[in-house]
C-alpha cells in the first residue's frame, strides 16, 4: 500500500492559533486549518511501506541543533494560488536540514523536486484575488521534524504524523 508522504516542521499548537488570528484572509480563499500548518522540508509523494520503513530508519542520521524559524512577511504565489508566510532572509540551519534529508532520500533512489527550497507556511489556498494584511514577525524554536502522511478528507487534507525526530 502506498502513502503520500512529506517531511515538515510544525509550529507549536498555541502559535498556530496566534497565526490564524493575526492574519486577515481574502473572502474568496480557502483557509488552511491551523492544525495543518507546517513548513514542508521535502515532499516525497507516493511511497510504499517497505521504502518508508527504510527512509525512517535512515533519518536517524540527520544532525541538527534546535534553531529559530521565523517568517516576517505574507506572500501570494500566483500559480499555486496560495498565501503563505515567508521570510526574505534564508535560514542556514533550515537549509542544512533540508539538504541532509534530500541527500538521504536520494541515496535510496527516491526522485525529489529539483526546484530550490523556499521556506514557507501556507495559510490559505485557492486565493484568486489577493488582499491581505501585513503580518508581524512569527517565530519559534524548531526542535524537531516529522514525516507526515497526507490523507484526502471531505474538507481537504489531514496530515498524520508517521514519525518524529528531535534535534540534539
pLDDT in tens, 59-86: 999 999 999 999 999 999 999 999 999 9
Give pLDDT, residue 59: 97
Domains of the chain, by residue range, sit at: 2-166
pTM for this prediction:
0.93
Mean pLDDT along residues 8-33: 92
Contact indicator for 57, 107 with CB cutoff of 8 Å: no
Under DSSP, the state recorded for 108 is: T
Q: What is the CATH number of domain 2-166?
A: 3.90.1140.10
Q: What is the share, in percent, of the chain residues with pLDDT greater than 90?
A: 80
Residues 6+ apart with CB under 8 A from 147: 5, 6, 7, 52, 55, 56, 59, 161, 162, 163, 164
CA proximity to 22, closest of 156, 166, 138: 138
Amino acid at each position: 500500500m502506498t502513502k503520500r508522504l512529506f517531511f515538515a516542521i510544525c509550529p507549536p499548537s498555541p502559535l498556530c492559533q496566534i497565526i490564524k488570528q493575526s492574519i486577515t484572509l481574502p473572502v474568496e480563499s480557502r483557509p488552511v486549518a491551523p492544525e495543518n500548518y507546517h513548513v514542508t522540508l521535502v515532499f516525497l509523494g507516493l511511497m510504499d511501506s517497505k521504502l518508508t520503513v527504510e527512509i525512517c530508519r535512515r533519518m536517524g542520521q540527520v544532525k541538527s541543533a534546535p534553531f529559530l524559524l521565523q517568517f516576517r512577511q505574507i506572500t501570494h504565489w500566483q500559480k499555486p494560488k496560495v498565501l503563505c508566510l515567508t521570510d526574505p532572509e534564508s535560514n542556514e540551519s533550515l537549509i542544512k536540514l533540508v539538504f541532509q534529508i534530500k541527500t538521504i532520500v536520494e541515496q535510496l533512489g527516491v526522485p525529489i523536486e529539483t526546484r530550490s527550497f523556499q521556506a514557507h507556511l501556507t495559510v490559505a489556498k485557492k486565493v484568486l484575488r489577493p488582499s491581505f494584511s501585513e503580518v508581524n514577525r512569527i517565530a519559534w524554536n524548531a526542535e524537531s521534524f516529522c514525516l507526515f502522511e497526507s490523507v484526502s478528507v471531505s474538507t481537504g487534507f489531514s496530515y498524520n504524523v508517521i514519525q518524529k525526530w528531535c534535534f540534539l
